[in-house]
Structure 1
Amino acid sequence: MSSHTAEPGQGRALAIVERAYRGAVETQFSDALYCAYLFHIHLGGLDLLLRGPAVTYAVRGATPALRLGGQDLHTVNDPRVNLAVLLDSGVGVWVEEPDLPAHGLSPAALLPDVRTVPAGEMTARWPAYRSVFYL
């Protein structure tokens, strides 16, 4: 269960992830969500906004194995597992509502503690953050 109960901002940083990237064999040790975890620790608090295809990170269910040359590759990071780690660490995770149906999803499919916001709402909150950046 997430320990994050604060509203967006409040001295935290905001990281925005728009592209869903499962990673490659060469980069399985680090991806945007792992970097978000490090930023959360080193910056003293982080909120994460998922937009576009990255909203798929926040849905329940298992990530299918990556198939290469007729074989399943099970060593690639699972963004849902990494997102659960972020939530457990106190990272506030937000998803822009219009991007859910655009990818065949509904808010009911989201992981617990992931919040939805209308498009553009987090942009209006940028002044409350100490920094805003894209991952």
Structure 2
Amino acid sequence: MATQENRAGTDIDRPDGRVLAIVERGHRGALEKQFFDEFYLAAELHRQLGGLDILLRGQAVTYALNAGPPPPLRIGNRTVGTLSDPRKGLRTLIEAGVGVWAEEPGLAAVGAAHSPGRLLDGIRVAQDGELATRWTGYRMVCFL
């Protein structure tokens, strides 16, 4: 099997020494999230731990869909337009060399399983349990 390199030139088919971070819940977040979200944390983990891969599962696969930024949040008479954009965070991570997978069952649940054009560039589709078979190659597996 030929390996695939991401934009940073890192072989993302071989997890040797990397950390796998699993994100399962898509969450728009509270106002505080505009300053720090799971992908901001992921960028730091990637930098400090020497390599990170992310698996998006469940509702979190919606982050992988090619869509516009989240709309502003309206609270009473106030409009908050400074919320974090998870797709922008994913693009930044991919550019930094993070391998990002979206699990197929989650994509199927949102009608995007067989539409690779609906995914952000650099997102790979993982079959149900595919990355679990690679866990032993990772230095650590955690949930974000």
Q: TM-score when scaled to structure 1?
A: 0.92
**Conserved? CA contact 2:22–2:54, under 8 Å:** yes
In the alignment, structure 1 residue 24 sits paired with structure 2 residue 30: yes
* Matching residue of 2:117: 108
What is the root-mean-square deviation of aligned Cα atoms in Å?
Answer: 1.5
Match of 1:125 among 127, 134, 137: 134
Report how far residue 8 of structure 1 moved.
4.2
- Separation in structure 1 between the aligned mates of residue 133 and residue 105 of structure 2, nearest angstrom: 17
**Conserved? CA contact 2:33–2:84, under 8 Å:** no
What one-letter code is carried by the residue in structure 2 that aligns with 1:15?
Answer: A
SS of corresponding position for 2:55: strand
Structure 2 residue runs without a partner (length 5+):
1-5
SS of corresponding position for 1:93: strand
Structure 1 residue runs without a partner (length 5+):
none
Rg (Cα) greater in structure = 2
CA deviations on 1:16-65 (whole Å, 9 max, x unpaired) are 00011122212321111111111000000000000001001111111222
Identity of aligned residues (%): 49
| Count of paired positions | 135
Instruction: Provide runs of 4+ in structure 1 moved above 3 Å.
Output: none
Instruction: Answer with 42-51 or 64-73: which moved more.
Output: 64-73
Q: TM-score when scaled to structure 2?
A: 0.87
Report how far residue 129 of structure 1 moved.
0.1
In the alignment, structure 1 residue 134 sits paired with structure 2 residue 140: no
